Chains A and B, each alone.
Chain A
Amino acid sequence: MSAIEVRQLTKQFGKLTAVNNISFSVKKGEIFGFLGPNGAGKTTTINILTTLLKPTSGQAEVNGYDVIKQKEKVRASIGLIFQEPSLDDNLTAYENLKFHSWLYGVDKKTQSQRIPAMLQMVGLTDRQKNVVGTFSGGMKRRLEIARGLVHHPKVLFLDEPTIGLDPQTRNHIWQYVLKLREREQITMFMTTHYMDEAEYCDRVAIIDEGKIIALDSVDNLKKTIGGDVIIIKTKDNQRAQQEIKNKWQLEAQQKDDSLMINKQDGGQFIPALFQELSVEIVNVFIRKPTLNDVYLKLTGKEIREERASAKDKFKHNLKMRGRLRGH
């Protein structure tokens, strides 16, 4: 039995189709990533899988429970780390975890072992008695990860777990996630729009405009690129593009003021390129393919790091710091 099973899932908001007939399954114990730009339908999918949203059509099962008919059983068996902060700023770190264990019916004895263990794992033991409102964004995220695990979920959902955090903190969060994977028997389903983060996943589904356009392991996805990525800058890119097509039957893509070529054993191809191209080459660069290249190849566009407006970002940052405090 797989941990998550999704069949022909569709969600419409009025005329907008946020999730368009997607099907996939997640194996037990794997880290499964949903990669795509903001607005691609990642959060909508998570909200359906965690019973917060009802799908327009299609089926989904989590841990063998139907997300529409067996909501409470699904909820009891999963942990969720939301994109937006969701801690109670007026309670201490310990109280937040305690409250959570209560809600999930964790017995007292398990609580007394599990809460300290989780706090230690995310390095917040010495801050447990502090009110969460005084925490930094990174500390809050770590606490949310600890909270999502207190009740021993079988599947952990992480919706953009590192959004709005600085690179160093992002790194730390990932170390916790990977450590977690070694320690606990757990399946992880995560969404991200950071390419480098998707690399940590066992398998990645690339999602664009509500559809899954590719689903495979990171290595296999990169293999679809066909070898290495060579980026050249020439005196006349258009002529070079035409010549490359004629001589080697290769499709060179125009990217900014350079040309991008995908080629097996790219290192050996570069000397040939210099010899046989009649246009003068100004600059050359070779690298291994990234998931960004895969996405670019599939959709013809790049995932922008932040498509969120400046206002949204500002609001988000304020929330992370807990400065937009309520009454």
Chain B
Amino acid sequence: MEHLKAIYIIWYRDILRFGRNKARIISSLAMPFLWLVMFGSGIKGSLSFGAGGFSGADFDYIQFLFPGVIGMTVLFTSIFSAISIVTDREFGFMKEILVAPVSRTAVALGKILGGTTIAVVQAILIMVFAPLVGVSLSWGLVLGLLPVMFLVAFSLNSLGILVASRLKSTEAFQMVMQFIMMPMFFLSGALFPLQNLPTWMSFLSKINPASYGIDSMRQVAFRFLDVPEIVADFFRIELFGNKLNLQLDLLIIAGFGLVMLVAAVLAFRKSE
């Protein structure tokens, strides 16, 4: 009970700070907006999925990209939210938290849940742009994606906190996170299908936890966007010769998340 309260307090502060920082909200929406609306609309015409073997189906690149950009928002926001523990440390506030009679585990969990909430909120805000690119938004789509986004965001936030517990300055954090985030993003299948990749790239994409996050969001989104079964099946990740279904995707993310969570809590407890 005490712990739950402490987690809630740490969570609440991060949400309060997030809501107050309008510039941060707007600037973090800019990137996904550019990818979805400008890049997506621009490249749609010159890119055809006809070669994939379903030329007759009613499907275009935007439908493929949309869940990818949602996933990208979750990825970027989750990992970057962890910067809050670095800034708190830099600006002294972390000391105030650490000297309070609350457990380190509760602090780490509060931070992870705060970042998770922020990532999910940002991703939902991005969905507002859907009609601009001709994706029909429905309550089912938003509500269906919600639990998946939450799980993915939670896992990635744990990774973020794990890395951030080791870093002392925001400059170092930004450098390290770029190195982790950009490869994760490009190899995740957010922008292009992971099928027909060169072997080395295919291998990297399969050990990338973000790939399973993007795949699960895409599989959920495709159900609500009336994408034909054959198309949806084509894009599923293949692991050891089998196409993964949604449950397996989620299981892999949950497993990854659990390992990251334990590691993050331990690293945070040790670092302070």
Contact = CB atoms under 8 A, between A and B. Distances in A.
Q: Do A and B bind each other?
A: yes
Interface of A: 50-52, 72-73, 75-76, 78, 80, 82, 84-91, 95, 99-100, 102-105, 147, 319, 324, 326-327
B6 A326 contact: no
Given A75-B99, A88-B13, A103-B100, A326 B170 contact: yes
B87 A86 contact: no
Nearest to A96: B96
A326 B91 contact: yes
A180 to B, nearest CB: 19
Given A76-B101, A80-B99, 14 more contacts: A72-B103, A73-B101, A85-B92, A86-B93, A86-B95, A87-B93, A90-B21, A91-B16, A91-B17, A102-B5, A103-B97, A103-B102, A105-B5, A326-B90
B220 interface: no
Closest 4 CB pairs of A and B: A326-B87, A86-B92, A76-B101, A103-B100
B82 to A, nearest CB: 12
A86 B98 CA distance: 11
A327 B100 CA distance: 24
Q: DSSP class of A's interface residues: helix, strand, loop or mixed?
A: loop
A50 B96 CA distance: 11
B101 A72 contact: yes
Contacts of B101: 72-73, 75-76, 103-105
B95 to A, nearest CB: 5
Contact of B99 (A52, A89, A105, A326): A52
A147 B13 CA distance: 16
A89 B101 CA distance: 22
B21 to A, nearest CB: 7
Given A91-B16, A99-B9, A102-B9, A52 B102 contact: no
Contacts of A89: 91
Contacts of B90: 326
B91 A319 contact: yes
- Kindly name the residue among B21, B83, B98, B100 whose own CB sees the greatest number of chain A CB atoms within 10 A: B100
A104 B97 CA distance: 10
A83 to B, nearest CB: 9
Contacts of B97: 103
Contacts of A102: 5, 9
Contact of B95 (A82, A99, A319): A82
B60 to A, nearest CB: 36
B203 to A, nearest CB: 35
Nearest to B94: A86
Contacts, number: 70
A103 B9 contact: yes
Contacts of B2: 105
Contacts of A327: 24, 83, 87, 170
Contact of B92 (A51, A84, A100, A105): A84
Contacts of B92: 82, 84-87, 319
A88 B95 contact: no
B180 to A, nearest CB: 17
Nearest to A72: B101
A95 B19 CA distance: 14
B99 A50 contact: yes
Interface in B16-74: 16-17, 20-21, 24
Contacts of B170: 326-327
B179 to A, nearest CB: 18
B173 to A, nearest CB: 10
B148 to A, nearest CB: 28
B164 to A, nearest CB: 13
A76 B101 CA distance: 5
Contacts of B17: 88, 90-91
A51 B91 contact: no
25 contacts: A52-B99, A75-B101, A80-B99, A82-B95, A85-B91, A86-B93, A86-B95, A87-B93, A88-B93, A89-B91, A90-B17, A90-B20, A95-B16, A99-B13, A100-B96, A103-B9, A103-B97, A103-B101, A104-B101, A105-B101, A326-B87, A326-B170, A327-B24, A327-B83, A327-B87
Contacts of A147: 96
A205 B7 CA distance: 40
B155 to A, nearest CB: 23
A105 B103 CA distance: 13
Contact of B98 (A52, A99, A105, A326): A52
B170 to A, nearest CB: 7
B122 to A, nearest CB: 15
B11 to A, nearest CB: 12
Given A72-B101, A75-B100, A103-B101, A52 B24 contact: no
Given A103-B6, A319-B91, A326-B170, A51 B99 contact: yes
